[in-house]
A = this chain, B = another copy of it.
Amino acid sequence: MIDIKRHNAGFCRDHFLVHCREQVRRAIHDHKMVEPGDRIVVAVSGGKDSLALWDLLVGLEYDVDGLYLGLGIGEYSGESVQFARKYASARGLKLHEVDLQDDLGFTVPGAASVTHRSPCGACGLSKRHVFNTFARDHGYDVVATGHNLDDEAAVLLGNVLRWETGYLGRQHPVLPSAPGFVRKVKPLVRLGEREMAAYCVLQGIDYQVEECPMAEGNRHLGYKEVLNALEERSPGSKASFLFGFLERAHAQFATVAVEEREGLSACIECGSPTTSEICAFCRLRERASGVSLGEGR
């Protein structure tokens, strides 16, 4: 039996799988994540969340392919891609692959070391850029990511502790499309980390169990610990934190985010929307790959 304290419920195998599918269906419906005819690309890392998401979207009969981004994090990346490939080939699904080193000339550890910034910052920037531009250039309408309830609650806690009003305005299960931006959706937002691990086990999905070695000791994991302690004391804390925000507070911050989106122009290197001439990703790429910008123009 799979016990979910915040729902005060225990599920047998079959009903647990139904529960997961219903939570995803409800998230997609409530937040209008997908429109009829949309082509979806799932950002696949080889971990439990993104593979479960892909599996759930296939089960709900969406038109959905996968995209794996190779980050160049040694053995960890080498293993992760195998889980993604194995999942896709066993089910006859289409997995695209982009490799930061082969296709863009740098790796996440390299970028972090050159810029003296956190690897998680360089990684997040690269993922947002590559998933968006790949989807835009390959005719996908939606990028779906495997952020679950635990992830979103931890990001929210970090944003709230520093009152990052711009980030708070953009923290939502759906970021609508805008010129240069494909719609981004988080269909797992109603499901917790433990549930996604149980889903994979029950569905026979092998996944990368290791945490990324570069993430060790980062703030995000600290926020997860804090929220786990609060959830332990008072089950349902994470869900009421996240959904209370979405229902009663997000709108107050959203106007700030809309204002920030105005006045963006196209990056002269890659065409992505940016506040300056060259976008943050292309600047990172120039420093990390050693390739001067403008050489290709």
Whether B161 and A248, one on each chain, are in contact in the complex, defined by CB atoms closer than 8 angstroms, is: no
A241 on the interface (CB 8 Å rule)? yes
A60 on the interface (CB 8 Å rule)? no
| Other-chain residue from B233, B241, B247, B252 in contact with A253 (beta carbon distance below 8 A) | B252
A249 on the interface (CB 8 Å rule)? yes
A125 on the interface (CB 8 Å rule)? no
> Which residues of chain B are within 8 angstroms of A247 by Cβ–Cβ distance?
163
The CA-CA distance from A140 to B237 in the complex, in Å, is: 41
Least CB distance, A248 to chain B, in whole angstroms: 5
Interface residue ranges of A152-185 to B (CB < 8 Å):
160-163, 165
A230 on the interface (CB 8 Å rule)? yes
A202 on the interface (CB 8 Å rule)? no
Give the residue name and chain of the B residue nearest to A243 (CB): B163
Whether A230 and B241, one on each chain, are in contact in the complex, defined by CB atoms closer than 8 angstroms, is: no
B-contact 0/1 string along A220-244, CB 8 Å cutoff = 0010001001100110010011001
Q: Given A226-B229, A226-B230, A233-B222, is A161 in contact with B240 using a C-beta cutoff of 8 Å?
A: yes
The CA-CA distance from A234 to B220 in the complex, in Å, is: 13
Q: Given A226-B229, A229-B226, A252-B253, is A161 in contact with B237 using a C-beta cutoff of 8 Å?
A: yes
The CA-CA distance from A222 to B222 in the complex, in Å, is: 16
A134 on the interface (CB 8 Å rule)? no
> Which residues of chain B are within 8 angstroms of A161 by Cβ–Cβ distance?
230, 237, 240-241, 244
Whether B234 and A219, one on each chain, are in contact in the complex, defined by CB atoms closer than 8 angstroms, is: yes
A76 on the interface (CB 8 Å rule)? no
What are 25 A-B pairs with beta-carbon distances under 8 A? A160-B241, A161-B230, A161-B237, A161-B240, A161-B241, A161-B244, A162-B240, A162-B241, A162-B244, A163-B240, A163-B244, A163-B245, A163-B247, A163-B248, A163-B249, A219-B233, A219-B234, A222-B229, A222-B233, A226-B226, A226-B229, A249-B252, A249-B253, A252-B252, A252-B253
Q: Given contact pairs A161-B240, A249-B252, enumerate 20 new A-B contacts (beta carbons under 8 Å).
A: A160-B160, A161-B230, A161-B237, A161-B241, A161-B244, A162-B240, A162-B241, A162-B244, A163-B240, A163-B241, A163-B245, A163-B247, A163-B249, A165-B248, A219-B234, A222-B229, A222-B230, A226-B226, A252-B252, A252-B253
What 10 pairs between A and B have smallest CB-CB spacing?
Answer: A163-B244, A252-B252, A163-B248, A161-B241, A165-B248, A163-B249, A226-B226, A160-B160, A163-B245, A222-B233
